[in-house]
A and B are shown apart, each in its own frame.
Chain A
Amino acid sequence: MHDPAQIQARFVLQHPGFCLDIDLQLPGRGITALFGHSGSGKTSCLRCVAGLEQAGTGYLAVNGDCWQDSARGLFVPTYRRPIGYVFQEANLFAHLDVRDNLLYGSRRIPRAARQVALQQAVDLLGIGHLLQRLPGRLSGGERQRVGIARALLTSPRLLLMDEPLASLDLQRRQEVMPYLERLQRELDIPLLYVSHAPDEVARLADHLVVLEEGRVRACGPLQETLLRHDLPMFQEEDAQAVLHGLAGAFDEHYGLQAVQLDEQSRLLQPARQAVAPGTPLRLKVRARDVGLSLAQVQHSSLLNHLAVRVCDWQEVPQLSYVQVRLQLPGGQQLLARITRYSFDQLGIHSGQALWAQLKSVSLLNG
């Protein structure tokens, strides 16, 4: 009936002044971001999946196992669900040192089910030097890394993270982010990731769920969903597209890394060191960093010019801009934010061939 490798979640949860009413079909692997502003219900949704909150009406099946079905009166309590949960504030046990915090969960699962070894989790998150410390003596970033390792050590079949970076400053965020990416690469555990930061979503997610006032506004693969005209994130200041590419050659002299987006589209990106050719890379291009011209611009300081075709466009109501959706020859899409004046001057129409100049591109990984 259903593809077993997926997550089906249907919750109706009533709180005074707030109602969560969602019905989601999510892929059973990779990182799914639950995105929304505070009060959108993303944390409630995650807590329902964990069983920390019991939706009056609910159905939840994860990769073939049913954890809740209110129609049958089934509700598997949190401690019987094979999940790993990372809290916003790490939530470590204050009376146990890091080592005992890490082992708390793994001691409670059968030996045969332990797929992640202490050493592996410790190495993955770089916390080997902290094992003897009490949580009170850790920095915010360290606490969060211990929290992630502790969750991993229960060998979860589903990882749940509730804004694990929200309580950290920018520097600590940069410190933890690479560990999250490594996690995704090295362990094949599906992850539901709650966030209100578009940057985190762009960098980490494969799949995106946008929640608004307790309801699902959009749900789909990250690249497509980011470009949807009807979503608030499209209209905001940091409307952006995520492009996938493969690392190409590295120019030692100028410190430029080539990234191949498709057979005809190539970007050059300043980089400190070479990325091994063929490595998959993820790039973020903000709509406001893309300019358009009818002909290829010669003699420009801008490095990146891509041949594109116009798909469609949308006026941004409060700002006098038009946001144009463009397609690369290989099918990937990006956005350009231009003034209405330029829009008319260029006579933009559907299917038109144009050149896009990229003022800046950021490499999200690698």
Chain B
Amino acid sequence: MPLTQNDFAAIGLSLQLASLTTLLLLLLGTPLAWWLAHSRRRWSKRLVSALVALPLVLPPTVLGFYLLVLLGPHGWIGQLTQSLGLGTLTFSFSGLLIGAALCSLPFVVQPLQNAFEAIGRAPLEAAATLRASPLDSFFTVVVPLARPGFLTAATLSFAHTLGEFGVVLMIGGNIPGKTQVVAIQIYNHVEGMHYAQAHWLAGGMLLFSFLILLLLYAGRQNRQGWS
């Protein structure tokens, strides 16, 4: 078998990071996307939209650098976590999770916002006249109608986190079993001239990412029967 124990640990860690990031982002990104889709405060909306989109254009090293500073022992957040007895989050899995979530935020918020905007207020008004409370109508009307948006958001966030490199390297480092994800491990193999092993991991990621996107687009086509 060409894969080492560290490779398997890296694969496991990558999958864990991607799933947890996606879960976290769906929980936090949904209300944010909802607010962006429905708020009438134009300026705060523009501000937040621009902030959310930043990770799309910034090199992950920039994001990683600031996170490193913030989360580190002298940063605000670092001081806070230390005073709470949590230590610092840098070079830990929790730190990775925060970094990955920030990087993938636009991939969750933007499709959800688009989906919510496309649904519009009309179905919500209909639900309200049929006695559904706002929360009730969110789960019984918005979520089913926005299902393609949720699917896109989850897939993109998962796939993007799986491929995250820069931010992980900056704040997580390269600790086997703790912060060493597949993307980093590929880099290690290439650095060590182990091209065969790099091929196995890189090829695997390529295939996996392609399959995920293929599934996503296939799912989208099938949904077009509606509306």
Encode A123-135 as 1/0 by CB contact (under 8 A) with B: 0000000000010
Measured as residues with beta carbon below 8 angstroms from the partner, the interface class of chain A is: 20 to 34
Are A79 and B128 closer than 8 Å at their CB atoms? yes
Closest to B131 in A: A108
Across the interface, B123 reaches (CB within 8 A) one of A93, A109, A150, A151, namely A93
Q: How far is the CB of B226 from chain A (nearest CB, A)?
A: 6
B193 within 8 A of A: no
Across the interface, A95 reaches (CB within 8 A) one of B126, B133, B136, B145, namely B145
A193 within 8 A of B: no
A87 within 8 A of B: yes
Question: Which residues does chain A contribute within 8 Å of B226, judged by CB atoms?
Answer: 94-95, 134, 136
CA distance A95 to B131 in the complex (A): 18
B129 within 8 A of A: yes
Are A79 and B133 closer than 8 Å at their CB atoms? yes
Are A104 and B128 closer than 8 Å at their CB atoms? no
A36 within 8 A of B: no
Are A105 and B131 closer than 8 Å at their CB atoms? yes
CA distance A267 to B145 in the complex (A): 56
Question: Which residues does chain A contribute within 8 Å of B86, judged by CB atoms?
Answer: none
Q: From residue 144 to 198 of chain A, which have CB atoms closer than 8 A to chain B?
A: 150-151, 154
Are A154 and B130 closer than 8 Å at their CB atoms? yes
B83 within 8 A of A: no
Are B129 and A83 closer than 8 Å at their CB atoms? yes
Closest to B227 in A: A94
Across the interface, A78 reaches (CB within 8 A) one of B123, B128, B140, B227, namely B128
Are B130 and A136 closer than 8 Å at their CB atoms? no
CA distance A109 to B137 in the complex (A): 15
A50 within 8 A of B: yes
Are A91 and B126 closer than 8 Å at their CB atoms? yes
Are B128 and A77 closer than 8 Å at their CB atoms? yes
Q: Do A84 and B129 form a contact, CB below 8 Å, given A93-B141, A94-B226, A136-B227?
A: yes
A residues with CB within 8 A of B: 50-52, 77-80, 83-85, 87, 89, 91-95, 104-105, 108-109, 134, 136, 150-151, 154
Known pairs A91-B123, A91-B126, A108-B136; list 14 more (Cβ under 8 Å). Answer: A79-B129, A79-B131, A79-B132, A79-B136, A85-B125, A87-B122, A93-B127, A95-B141, A95-B226, A104-B132, A108-B132, A136-B227, A151-B129, A154-B131
B residues with CB within 8 A of A: 122-123, 125-134, 136-137, 140-141, 144-145, 225-227
